[in-house]
Copies of this chain bind each other. A is one copy, B any other.
């Protein structure tokens, strides 16, 4: 319930159109326009609160569940993004929504009646190695879906520093930089020393030996001395892109 809705409700009550009990229940029950699917309560008002509709996390949901939730969201907001999907999800999804785009590398499904207008400002997505690409692509697709222009900077690990250095201009031109790295977790530290913009690190679970499913990369990023670096969970390309989009969107809004 937005403040506007609350004011309207109170006005109705003041005019005697609804009883105190009804009003009270309305306040307690708001925002109830979401649809209860039994297994899920679709939050169709998230766009109001967060500026972007709910995104479906596909892992752990059946294809049928994903399709049902997507259906509700499409009706409410005209766009839906599904992350962490399997090919089975994709098949079921496109049977129902033939216009959906399946980003196989990114493990995402995207569907929208009309793409969002691109806001000004670039989000750079940096990936250390080839095996970090699925996470980087999840970030890139998410950021683009949310109305941002994305600059991909891939395979620029620290072991060959020159690969990174020749992309410094691209890095410095971005409003926000997302760095995705598993085995080369030193990369955000180095990038952080080169730029003055917000920087978000995404550790990946790619590695071996004492990599511990990405924990080593995560800890390395958290302990980096690069000022201004913040971090999201292991493999959470979506979360990093979401945060980057919030930042880019803040910059765009205040621009007038």
Contacts and interface: CB of A to CB of B under 8 A. Distances in A.
Given A7-B24, A239-B229, A217 B207 contact: no
Interface in A200-218: 200, 205-212, 214-218
A168 interface: yes
| Residue picked from A24, A195, A223, most chain B C-beta under 10 Å | A223
A254 to B, nearest CB: 4
A75 interface: no
A95 interface: no
A130 B40 contact: yes
Nearest to A54: B160
Contact of A189 (B16, B43, B186, B240): B186
Interface stretch (A85-93, A96-104, A107-115, A241-249): A241-249
Interface residues of A, number: 120
Contacts of A235: 208-209
A149 interface: no
B158 A198 contact: no
A210 B222 CA distance: 7
Contact of A229 (B168, B212, B229, B243): B243
Contacts of A212: 219
Contacts of A234: 208-210, 222
Interface string A142-181: 0000000000001111111111011011000001100000
A185 interface: yes
Contacts of A250: 175-176, 197-198, 247, 250-251
Contacts of A238: 227
A193 B160 contact: yes
A1 to B, nearest CB: 8
A231 B232 contact: yes
A41 to B, nearest CB: 4
Contacts of A27: 6, 27
A130 B30 contact: no
A225 interface: yes
A186 B43 CA distance: 18
A208 B59 contact: yes
Contacts of A45: 160, 162
